[in-house]
Amino acid sequence: MTESLNRIRAFLADREPPTPCLVVDTDLVAARTAAVAAAFPDALIRYAVKANPAPEVLDAVLSAGAGFDVAGTGEIELCLSRGAEAAELAYGNTIKKPSDIAFAYTRGVREFTTDSAGDLANLAEYAPGSLVSIRLLLTGGPDSVTPFGHKFGCEPSVAATLLRQAVDAGLRPGIAFHVGSQQPDPAAWEIGVATAAKVAADAGVGLARLNIGGGFATGHREPVPSLADYAAVIHAALGEHLPGPGPELLLEPGRVIVADAGLIRTEVVLVTTRAATDERRWVYLDVGRYNGMAECENEAVAYRLEPVGVKGPEGPVVLAGPTCDGDDVLYQRTPCALPMSLRAGDLLDIPGTGAYTASYSSVAFNGIEPLRTYCVGRFADAG
Ligand SMILES: Cc1ncc(COP(=O)(O)O)c(C=O)c1O
């Protein structure tokens, strides 16, 4: 990772691109993809494009032999345009129009996820014979940092019914779950695997697929389990609950492949105090919740902050973005300290920001352009 950061910082020093910007090391993306494949040698790896859809990132993922988890027609087009085979795509979004399904099927996509009778009926009609995994709603497990709530997945009894309906409709049946993104507890997958095995047994259906989603966490201020730690728990759960020649395993990792490969450089716009009784300075950056730092919503992800060339004693700060929106505050409860000498015009680096930053960035809120992405490494010029 040091090598990767050195490459990114050398690019920033050499090119001095306008801030804010995200720089992604594509060599690390390829290496992380390979590391996931090595930890799960019998699984299909489908990188979740939503984490970072930069063409160079997709090229790096492809070079490491993985395919893609796509959320919609635009991502299908993008992946195919980078040379992915349709057979390497899994349409993981359970919310789709019949026209989206028909488009995907026409393009050759044959793997989908669903969690409702309506969508299942559409899949049977517009994607006949496809592999369709029923997404489970997992409740009562450990919380992830950015959970999905109740938006996706169905309860086990509903899933068992949908599984049987899928078979009756001539579809190849599977089960999917996602334990929530940035999930620091490997035990969450144990619950998912056990629930999937029970649902399949209750439905009396042999599974063609078990899709265990993404969710693998990356370290920011706190350490997280390694890929080997996650793999050990997941393989033990599979051995216990789905022994023998079980379903083919599929993973949809996003964050763990690209987060550490990215670094955002931002400029300090203003440093001020807001109340005589509050010693904390307010530090306003040119990056905020609408142009890259979306995962600071509810202060979910606590990124590290590294001043560039500014040193000396530190004091507490509240960190905020540049827009006129009152919610565009990054951290006011999460402790943050920056040098007392920090001034407008100084630069900060925010490492670990390759995932869910540029892809969440708005187009022109307050007239601010989306976060620009630059790539370094072997795949940098492919875009
Ligand atoms: C269906 C699906 N699969 C995979 C992912 C990727 O998850 P992560 O980035 O936590 O690995 C997501 C993230 O939102 C998702 O919605």
What is d(CA 32, CA 191) in angstroms, rounded to the nearest whole number?
Answer: 26
Average pLDDT of the segment spanning 235-256: 96
Average pLDDT of the segment spanning 168-184: 97
pLDDT of residue 359: 98
Ligand 1 centroid to residue 32 C-alpha, Å: 16
pLDDT of residue 382: 61
Average pLDDT of the segment spanning 157-170: 98
Q: Is domain 27-258 annotated with CATH 3.20.20.10?
A: yes
Helix, strand or coil for residue 131? strand
What is d(CA 235, CA 172) in angstroms, rounded to the nearest whole number?
Answer: 24
Ligand 1 centroid to residue 26 C-alpha, Å: 20
State the CB neighbour count (10 A cutoff) for residue 312: 9
Ligand 1 centroid to residue 58 C-alpha, Å: 16
Mean pLDDT, the chain, as a whole number? 97
Confidence category of residue 146, pLDDT binned at 50, 70, 90? confident
Average pLDDT of the segment spanning 346-363: 98
What is d(CA 249, CA 196) in angstroms, rounded to the nearest whole number?
Answer: 12
| CA distances to 219, 284, 296, 354 from 330, in Å | 18, 9, 5, 17
Q: Are the C-beta atoms of 290 and 332 separated by less than 8 Å?
A: no
| CA distances to 24, 33, 60, 329 from 380, in Å | 9, 16, 9, 32
Which of 252, 258, 295 gets mutated to test ligand 1 (max ligand atoms within 8 A of its CB)? 252
Same fold, 27-258 and 259-376: no
- Sorted by sequence, the CB contacts under 8 Å of residue 303 that are 6+ apart come out as 220, 221, 293, 296, 350, 351, 352, 353
Average pLDDT of the segment spanning 282-309: 98
Can you tell me which atom of ligand 1 is nearest the CA of 254?
9
pLDDT of residue 214: 98
Give the pLDDT confidence of 77-100 residue by residue, as tens digits.
999 999 999 999 999 999 999 999
State the CB neighbour count (10 A cutoff) for residue 167: 16
Selection from 318, 322, 260 nearest residue 292 by Cα: 322
Average pLDDT of the segment spanning 186-204: 98
Position 147 pLDDT exceeds 90: no
State the CB neighbour count (10 A cutoff) for residue 297: 13
Residues in the chain: 383
Which of 111, 178, 359 gets mutated to test ligand 1 (max ligand atoms within 8 A of its CB)? 178
Confidence category of residue 210, pLDDT binned at 50, 70, 90? very high
Helix count and strand count (H, E) for the chain: 10, 17
Position 383 pLDDT exceeds 60: no
Helix, strand or coil for residue 268? strand
Domain boundaries, the chain: 27-258, 259-376
Can you tell me which atom of ligand 1 is nearest the CA of 252?
4
259-376 folds as Lyase, Ornithine Decarboxylase; Chain A, domain 1 (2.40.37)
Read off the pTM.
0.97
Q: Are the C-beta atoms of 188 and 138 separated by less than 8 Å?
A: yes
